[in-house]
Amino acid sequence: MSEFDQKKDPITLTRLLLRDSKQLGASGDFAILLQSIQLAVKVISSATSKAGISNLYGSTLGGAENSSGDVQKKLDILANDVFVNALSFCDMVAIMGSEENEEPYMLQGTKGKYSVVFDPLDGSSNIDNNVGVGSIWAIYKHDPKNTKTTNDPEEAKQLLLKPGRQLISAGYAVYGPSTLLVLATSFGVNVYTLDPTIGEFILTQENARVPENGSIYSINEGNALFWDKPTRAYVHKCKERQNRARYIGSMVSDVHRTLTVGGIFAYPGDEKAKNGKLRLLYEVNPMSFIIEKAGGKCTTGTASPLDITPTELHQRCPIWLGSAKMVEEVEQLYKELE
């Protein structure tokens, strides 16, 4: 970044994608896809900042639930529509999967080089309290054996049920004091900050790295009565060495802190929910991909979630991710105590 004066010569996300498209092993099509995603993020950022003024707080009429059993907020519906519309218009997506919908979206008459899955508004249960929320997405190359789009929902599902190792890119946005967009590719992780005065995402951290160790653990201790032995043992270890507990309850916010300052984030399985709460396709895989590309580690306790081939679109999966040394401690406890 030293070769650029960010005031006179800012590196925007669009500019970087165009400049580095060859290095990323991508064509201009990938840049077009990311343009559409950043547009969706800008629209959702604007909506969240004006949610109270625009009467977007609260649940939908009748308290409808999404496909994962969560009560939908008004902003959930808006964010989902924004993502669907932006990705549909770009002409680069064959199939989409949303955490908010039971069935995939099948797009007809597109170039269809990519498949995209997303959680349009992660942490939306916090939105009424003005707590930071975000969006998460993951991008796969559309299977070359299935270059044509399909009208069959079951066939479309199968085309989305891919392990995280096949991801070519993943990212998340944080809607907080500033709007951040974090993008991971095979070449690393960059952080961009939205400059509202020019309406562009500016590169503010290149090649972000998770510290090898940390002093923060992030887990919902309200579930402590139901934890398995390795989880109880690990949290006890954290308390013994006076690690700090930080848990926001918005995955994007908790994971972004972990990426920035190190530590560990966890939503393990327990007696109430064997596979935890978070969805493999929409939350666990994208975040695991990002953390790994930034030099961190991820595990279910016994294996990498990125190696799991999902069998359902809304499959849940336990997750520990963050600083490599802390995740390795968890893996060792699972070997010893399970």
Catalytic positions: 70, 76, 99-100, 119, 121-122, 283
Q: Would you say 126 and 133 are in contact if contact means Cβ atoms under 8 Å apart?
A: yes
Q: Which of 224, 269, 226, 229 has its CA nearest to residue 247?
A: 224
Q: Is 195 helix (H, G, I), strand (E, B) or coil?
A: strand
CA separation for the pair 273, 32 (Å, rounded): 39
Phi-psi region of 91 (alpha: psi -120 to 50; beta: other; left: phi over 0): left
Residue 121, token pair as written in the block: 């508004």
Q: How many CA atoms, within 13 angstroms, populate the side-chain half-sphere of residue 252? A: 29
3-state helix/strand/coil string of 40-106:
HHHHHHHHHHCCCCCCCCCECCCCCECCCCCECEHHHHHHHHHHHHHHHHCCCEEEEEECCCCCCEE
